[in-house]
């Protein structure tokens, strides 16, 4: 059994892992970038919700209120960094490779 078949990030050619090409490698990179950006955004949203919960349940306690504001600040900063990183990645990809960021090996045309 080939271990690569367990991973949905990689659509292997019919010949198996021996026939992997640059096209497949770029597809894996594209999937990895998409997953990393999705996770970063989801974590930031969770922290934004958590900071709102802390702020609402602080009942005027200055220590908890300060902690909630700091959590919100860092969560928004993390979300902005993730969005900026995605814009840079998509800009560089379009500039140097062209087309959309691949998430499937069949989408890439390097010719």
Q: Say which range, 3-17, 23-37, 52-66, has the weakest mean pLDDT.
A: 3-17
Name the pLDDT band for 5 (thresholds 50, 70, 90).
very low
Sketch the domain layout of the chain as residue ranges. 39-97
Best CA proximity match to 13, nearest among 24, 1, 25: 24
How far apart are the C-alpha atoms of 48 and 41, rounded to whole Å? 11
pTM above 0.85, yes or no: no
pLDDT band at 66 (very low <50, low <70, confident <90, very high): very high
Q: How many CB atoms lie within 10 A of CB 51?
A: 20
| Mean pLDDT computed over every residue of the chain | 76
C-alpha pair distances (Å), 85 with each of 38, 40, 78, 105: 12, 11, 10, 23
* C-alpha span between 54 and 71 (Å, rounded): 9
pLDDT of 88: 86
pLDDT at 51 over 60: yes
Give the position of tokens 């497949």. Answer: 24
Token representation of residue 96: 């140097």
Separation between Cα atoms, residue 109 and residue 107, nearest integer Å: 7
């Amino acid at each position: 059994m080939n271990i690569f078949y367990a991973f949905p990030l990689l659509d292997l050619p019919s010949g198996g892992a021996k026939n992997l090409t640059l096209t497949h490698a770029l597809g894996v990179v594209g999937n990895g970038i998409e997953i990393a950006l999705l996770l970063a955004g989801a974590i930031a949203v969770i922290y934004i919700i958590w900071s709102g919960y802390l702020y609402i349940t602080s009942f005027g306690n200055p220590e908890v209120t300060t902690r909630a504001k700091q959590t919100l600040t860092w969560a928004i900063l993390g979300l902005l960094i993730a969005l900026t990183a995605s814009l840079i990645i998509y800009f560089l990809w379009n500039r140097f490779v062209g087309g959309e960021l691949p998430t499937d090996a069949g989408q890439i045309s390097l010719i």
